[in-house]
Structure 1
Amino acid sequence: MVAVELVDEVRSHLARGGLAVTPHAVAAALRAAGRPVGDATVLAVHEALRAESVGVGPLEPLLRLPGVTDVLVNGPRDVWVDRGAGLERADPSVGFTDEAAVRRFAQRLAAAGGRRLDDASPTVDVRLPDGVRCHAVLAPVARPGTLVSLRVPHGLGLGLDDLAARGALSPAGLVLVRRLLAARVAFLVTGGTGTGKTTLLGALLAAVDPAERIVVAEDSAELRPEHPHVVALEARPANLEGAGAVPLRALVRQALRMRPDRLVVGEVRGGEVVDLLAALNTGHEGGCGTLHANSVADVPARIEALALAAGLGREAAHSQLAAAVGAVLHLTRAPHRRLAEVGVPVRDGAGLVRMETAVRFDSTGAAHEGPAAEALAERLR
């Protein structure tokens, strides 16, 4: 590991002279500073400086790991990676020289996505040109230092058969989701963070009839289904003057005018739930989206809370949910990312919706029918 002081000294020399980061320029800077100019030192300093200015720098090896979904930076030498089996600490050789290097790294990524990150605007959530989603918070708002979270999009274009081969779908689950698509049942994919909701939704959309037009609205573009007719809309935050915002809710309304056969909301987490439910109740069959929820049973409460915040009353939200959504596919990470349960909305005597289990898949993939099995079968017919 090259000394922090040495890298800072060479960086300052190159900046003053307006020089590019090349091995020759690094060697000249070391000589000017009276430092040793061995080949190993030159190359080490050159790589350290180059890592600060190209791509995701020292994190590049982590993003190339098979199956990686998240890379988290909690400080210069505290880096974590998720390869599908939970978080694990990265190799000690991967990291940054100091807190200032992490800060520069976060600011460069923000700039690459067209956003600003500084003391006046210490947080950013941006999609990088290669599709990686970057969230960063500068110190002292963040502790113990600048925090960077990278969400890596799946580049393999996984289909339903691929997910079945990886254990995310059991044989019975694979048959069931194909029947849901064929019957044009509107559905939600639910689960906690990192359970594979977007991956499953992308695989499902890839299996949609090629003759159908899919219109996707997302807060941050992540869905890239392998389908011949997909168009997508991406929300845009306000600029530094507070103007120019294009919220997801507005995009959902615009998508309805684009002749969708399948309307898709990549992640329902705000007022757009009202527009999605309204659309699914007005002839847009087969629509879908993802929703954060801890269990199938929690889905009505989650949708109720989002709808209430958008001005839709409790009774109306439950009524819309019961009429709009035909099934909920719930994912879990125990013992690995997989489809764990399929639920169906059922209205009680008071008109409120509760979710009942139609099928539950255990950790071995075996399917067990629940009380709503017949209700699901009716929707599939």
Structure 2
Amino acid sequence: MSQVSGAGLVVASRVPGRTADPSLVDGVRARLARRGTPPTDADVTAAVRAAGTVLGSRALAELGTAVRAEVLGAGPLQPLLDDPDVTDVLVNAPDDVWVERAGRLERAGVDLGTAAQVRELAVRLAAAGGQRLDDASPTVDARLPDGTRLHAVLPPVAGGCTLVSLRALRQRAFALEELVAAGAVAPGLAPVLRALVAARASFLVSGATGSGKTTLLSALLSLVPGDQRIVCIEESGELTPDHPHVVRLLARGANVDGAGAVGLAELVRQALRMRPDRIVLGECRGAEVRDVLMALNTGHDGGCATLHANTARDVPARLEALAALAGLDRAALAAQAASALEAVVHLRRDGGRRYVAEIAVVRRDGSGELVVETAVGVAPGGVPVRAAGWAALARRLGA
């Protein structure tokens, strides 16, 4: 309800917390649409004021937050994404919303209304990420303006309700010391990781989905000397190194006519012309493996990438599968990888715990096969244990 003040201004008598009047949201959207430029938080606040709603400063801030969530953010899901302990928000149905908090899945007390409203939210978020989501294109993988990664699937591919997965991007990179304090890196492994970066070794960070690969890589890139130029090549811009000289190249999908796509392989080739000191591939999962290995074999040492793999020993098989997409046979891949890569840092996820499980070296065996051999592992209790590949790693790091 609202009432008219003595000055003739409309004053809201109740602010609905985290929700906003749909008519107010529609009015703000229409006002912002007439601007013709991407709206900012300040634009939304100004539009709320211009809508004739006059409130106290605290109430206006609360209403502005709710409207911004509806116009620029993820609506009722935005408070979950704003929680620093939440890494993923998963929508299975209007009343079936889950979050991953501190490494564990738990149900969130959020009701999104109806299946049609979930679909509407997913379509709006996809549009905010510059992507299309409709019956002709029922799946989408997009990066939202605030860095949040969106994946959505529409029915009937998704079954009864639109499925939405949101991964929050934390703007601040963790320092290696913080990862040690959190138990993600054993104290004895920290000097080895520092030495990998200092020695300009080229390495892969491997692990399963959600094991912390991007977090660790961001922390390691933060150790690169400030007078070196880092070129990050990604699909969704998730790397956040604390470094003064980082430039990004982001892949772009095709438009509705199927034209205009710029893939990771092309971006790797472009990065070679940008005077990089370190070439970083955010995630290697396709034919771009050929281009990044070729880049690291042309004098661009100190490069790195992340790779999905179950264990460090499985990395050769994973690379072979990706190389096949690029037309490289097994022997060619082994020659390229053994020359380009020197180490693999593998992360494991056990329940709610994510940690560096081993550091391995990359080499070819007597028959020419590509081998990843453990150099140092982590015993129960977080104690580093040297393994067969330690001598080779120590020689490379000058230890």
TM-score band by shorter chain is 0.7 to 0.9
- Residue 370 of structure 1 pairs with residue 377 of structure 2: no
- Residue 267 of structure 1 pairs with residue 283 of structure 2: yes
Match in the other structure for 2:359: 342
Match in the other structure for 2:44: none
Question: For 1:205 and 1:12, how far apart are their aligned partners in 2?
Answer: 47
User: Are the structure 2 counterparts of residues 362 and 144 from structure 1 closer, same or farther at C-alpha, using a change threshold of 3 Å?
Assistant: farther
User: Are the structure 2 counterparts of residues 97 and 321 from structure 1 closer, same or farther at C-alpha, using a change threshold of 3 Å?
Assistant: same
Structure 1 length normalisation: TM-score?
0.86
One-letter amino acid of the structure 2 residue matched with residue 73 of structure 1: V
Match in the other structure for 2:311: 295
Question: For 1:284 and 1:134, how far apart are their aligned partners in 2?
Answer: 33
Question: For 2:255 and 2:173, how far apart are their aligned partners in 1?
Answer: 33
Question: For 2:137 and 2:216, how far apart are their aligned partners in 1?
Answer: 35
- % identity of equivalent residues: 57
8 A Cα contact 1:52 1:105, kept in partner: no
Q: How does 1:101-120 map to 2 (within 5 A)?
A: 101-120=117-136
Give the root-mean-square deviation of aligned CA atoms: 2.7
For residue 11 of structure 1, report the CA deviation from its aligned partner. Answer: 5.7
For residue 47 of structure 1, report the CA deviation from its aligned partner. Answer: 10
- Residue 155 of structure 1 pairs with residue 153 of structure 2: no
- Residue 82 of structure 1 pairs with residue 100 of structure 2: yes
Question: For 1:344 and 1:100, how far apart are their aligned partners in 2?
Answer: 51
Question: For 1:53 and 1:273, how far apart are their aligned partners in 2?
Answer: 39
Describe the superposition over 1:25-84 as per-residue Cα deviations: whole angstroms up to 9, x where unpaired: 9xxxxxxxxxxxxxxxxxxxx999986545111112211223221111111011111123
One-letter amino acid of the structure 1 residue matched with residue 367 of structure 2: A
For residue 143 of structure 1, report the CA deviation from its aligned partner. Answer: 2.1
Q: How does 1:177-256 map to 2 (within 5 A)?
A: 177-256=193-272
One-letter amino acid of the structure 2 residue matched with residue 365 of structure 1: G
2:369 corresponds, among 342, 352, 367, to 352
Question: For 2:48 and 2:238, how far apart are their aligned partners in 1?
Answer: 35
8 A Cα contact 1:52 1:101, kept in partner: no
One-letter amino acid of the structure 2 residue matched with residue 235 of structure 1: A
User: Are the structure 2 counterparts of residues 19 and 350 from structure 1 closer, same or farther at C-alpha, using a change threshold of 3 Å?
Assistant: closer
User: Are the structure 2 counterparts of residues 372 and 13 from structure 1 closer, same or farther at C-alpha, using a change threshold of 3 Å?
Assistant: closer
Q: How does 1:14-53 map to 2 (within 5 A)?
A: 52-53=70-71
One-letter amino acid of the structure 1 residue matched with residue 84 of structure 2: P
8 A Cα contact 1:357 1:370, kept in partner: yes
One-letter amino acid of the structure 2 residue matched with residue 67 of structure 1: D
Match in the other structure for 1:38: none
One-letter amino acid of the structure 2 residue matched with residue 68 of structure 1: V
8 A Cα contact 2:172 2:240, kept in partner: no
Describe the superposition over 1:258-315 as per-residue Cα deviations: whole angstroms up to 9, x where unpaired: 1111111010001111111111111111110100000001000000110111111110
SS at match of 1:245: coil
SS at match of 1:359: strand
SS at match of 2:290: helix
Give the paired residue count: 353
2:157 corresponds, among 141, 147, 154, to 141
For residue 358 of structure 1, report the CA deviation from its aligned partner. Answer: 0.5
Question: For 1:13 and 1:113, how far apart are their aligned partners in 2?
Answer: 23
8 A Cα contact 1:322 1:346, kept in partner: yes
One-letter amino acid of the structure 2 residue matched with residue 346 of structure 1: R
User: Are the structure 2 counterparts of residues 95 and 320 from structure 1 closer, same or farther at C-alpha, using a change threshold of 3 Å?
Assistant: same
8 A Cα contact 2:280 2:305, kept in partner: yes
User: Are the structure 2 counterparts of residues 164 and 104 from structure 1 closer, same or farther at C-alpha, using a change threshold of 3 Å?
Assistant: same
8 A Cα contact 2:25 2:70, kept in partner: no
Question: For 2:195 and 2:74, how far apart are their aligned partners in 1?
Answer: 41
User: Are the structure 2 counterparts of residues 250 and 182 from structure 1 closer, same or farther at C-alpha, using a change threshold of 3 Å?
Assistant: same
For residue 190 of structure 1, report the CA deviation from its aligned partner. Answer: 0.3
One-letter amino acid of the structure 1 residue matched with residue 123 of structure 2: Q
8 A Cα contact 2:148 2:166, kept in partner: yes
For residue 123 of structure 1, report the CA deviation from its aligned partner. Answer: 1.2
SS at match of 2:216: helix
Question: For 2:66 and 2:241, how far apart are their aligned partners in 1?
Answer: 37
Question: For 2:354 and 2:238, how far apart are their aligned partners in 1?
Answer: 18
Unaligned segments of structure 1, at least 5 residues? 1-6, 26-45
SS at match of 2:103: coil
Describe the superposition over 1:111-136 as per-residue Cα deviations: whole angstroms up to 9, x where unpaired: 11122211121111111110101111
SS at match of 1:267: coil
